[in-house]
Amino acid sequence: MEANVASSSQADNKTDADKKTNKDEVSPVHLVRQLGMVACITMTVGTVIGSGIFISPKGILMNTGSLGASMIVWALCGVLATLGALSYGELGTTFTKSGGDYIYLMESFGPMVAFIRIWTYLVSVRTGSSAVVALTAATYLHRVFLPNCEELPYISVRLIAVVILVFIFYVNCVSVPLTTHLQVILTVAKVLGIALIILTGFVFICKGQIQNFEDSFEKTIDIKWQQIPLAFYAGLFAFSGWQYTPTFAEEIVRPARTLPLSIIISMVIITTVYLTANVGYFVLLTPTQLLDSDAVALSFAQQAFGSFSWIVSLAVVLSCIGAINGGIFSTSRIMFVAAREGHLPHILSMIQIDKKTPLPAAAVILPITVIMVCGESVYDLITYLSFTRWLFVSLSVATIPYFRWKHPEWERPFKVPLFVPITFTSVTLLLVVMSLYSSPRQCGIGFLILISGIPVYLVGVRWKNKPDWVNNATVKMTIFFQKLFLVVKQETKTY
């Protein structure tokens, strides 16, 4: 399907009136720069603050053993995530393409490593995370309407999760402004919900209820040193999402200024919210009570608000939906860029004519995510591939010193001191190595899933001389989906 846009040589021969008429009828199809500072901040904050703050406190405490140690891990995770986010700020302003670390890895380690990054996104890292967060949202939504139900219906939870996913995917497919406006609303709602936890905690502190903080480094449970990486993984899971901001660099207004500044503001907000929220939890919940709870925020709300605990459950639902929305928005851009580079089917690199959205790239993620929601092994996939997430992120940040040495002539609107990427890379790679020792089985399975992308790359990307019947079938299918979605190839370069 070809767009009805005249070539530049034909346009030169037209009169001014003809040009104006043509411009009014058909505008070039491309991603539009329409995301400002507020949109980038809410997209980052809304993506990062998802289910992690309601899940990770237990994971950190059970792998640190004491309240004081868990708070130190939370703070260190915030510092580490900020160092990584600042590093991605430099990379995002150095490379003008969208795609995030997929582009950085391809420019430094080559196409195979970049493809494997995309492979892990599709088979677990992003689709699996969206499935888990959707299930969390569905579970807490049931708690709003069925507060006294001890065992929630399996089918009902998954149906609600699928409905949430379909709604968010639809919004991402039809409108960028609608997606960002929804993200603003959800981010404000989730921050207000967490602020309620924080303020409630400080009210009780002002009343003198600080007994849970006495002897805060006294061990609640005994742990082994091998569990420390698992505590950091739980914390980094809560902070995960800051790495997605550069994935939509081609849609950011004044990216050289907006991208790094929005990242800095977002990380300050997120770290402050997480630390103070944990203080709020521990005001009312003893470490033992927190470890015994499967829903920390709900346990807190039941003690603080009694029959009005549904308010916090609703805040968790909105928080999870915001995380899904931001994740889908970012991931669809990664798929779009990967297809544009030839690593995914060509149809995924096309843009909807009227909506100016990468509709196919967003739509292709939905069925994979729904399948994961309906299965029971999605949580295992997240565990298996959690170490690969930080392996790729650390490798991406490690490219900064390499690019500084290899291409000193490149323009870098935002630069970080070299100790920032070096520190981040060293610590995250240490955590990856330690996790191989402490969880060899999970990491081994994750590694096997990771390398399973190699034959897919060799057949799907590297193999150029495919039979004619394969090429013809691919072309016919591309044309079919072009007509179905009304999409065309990007007509104006945006990088």
CATH of the domain at 270: 1.20.1740.10
The answer as to whether 6 is a domain residue is no
Neighbours of 13 (CB within 10 A): 8
The answer as to whether 494 is a domain residue is no
The pLDDT of residue 345 is 94
**CA-CA distance, 137 to 140, in Å (whole number)?**
5
The pLDDT of residue 382 is 64
The answer as to whether 359 is a domain residue is yes
Q: How many residues does the chain have?
A: 495
**CA-CA distance, 83 to 475, in Å (whole number)?**
44
- Site of tokens 């909105």: 318
**CA-CA distance, 328 to 176, in Å (whole number)?**
12
The pLDDT of residue 129 is 84
**CA-CA distance, 275 to 277, in Å (whole number)?**
5
The answer as to whether 37 is a domain residue is yes
CA-CA-CA-CA torsion sign (31, 44, 427, 133): negative
**CA-CA distance, 338 to 329, in Å (whole number)?**
15
**CA-CA distance, 291 to 62, in Å (whole number)?**
7
The answer as to whether 299 is a domain residue is yes
**First CA to last CA across the chain, in angstroms?**
24
The pLDDT of residue 10 is 41
* Contact of 387 with 443, CB cutoff 8 Å: yes
**CA-CA distance, 79 to 77, in Å (whole number)?**
5
Domain count, the chain: 1
Task: Say whether 341 sits in a helix, a strand or coil.
Answer: coil
* Contact of 196 with 312, CB cutoff 8 Å: yes
Report residue 456 as tokens: 């897919």
488 bridge partner residues: 351
Report residue 167 as tokens: 């709604």
The answer as to whether 85 is a domain residue is yes
Task: Using a cut of 0.75, tell me whether the model's pTM lies above it.
Answer: yes
Report residue 34 as tokens: 């329409």
Buried b (16+ CB within 10 A) or exposed e, 128-163: bbbbbbbbbbbbbbbbeeeeeeeeeeeeebbebbbe
Q: What residues make up the domain containing 114? A: 30-489
**Which residues in the chain show pLDDT less than 70?**
1-27, 376-383, 385
The answer as to whether 18 is a domain residue is no
> Amino acid letter at 57?
P
The answer as to whether 44 is a domain residue is yes
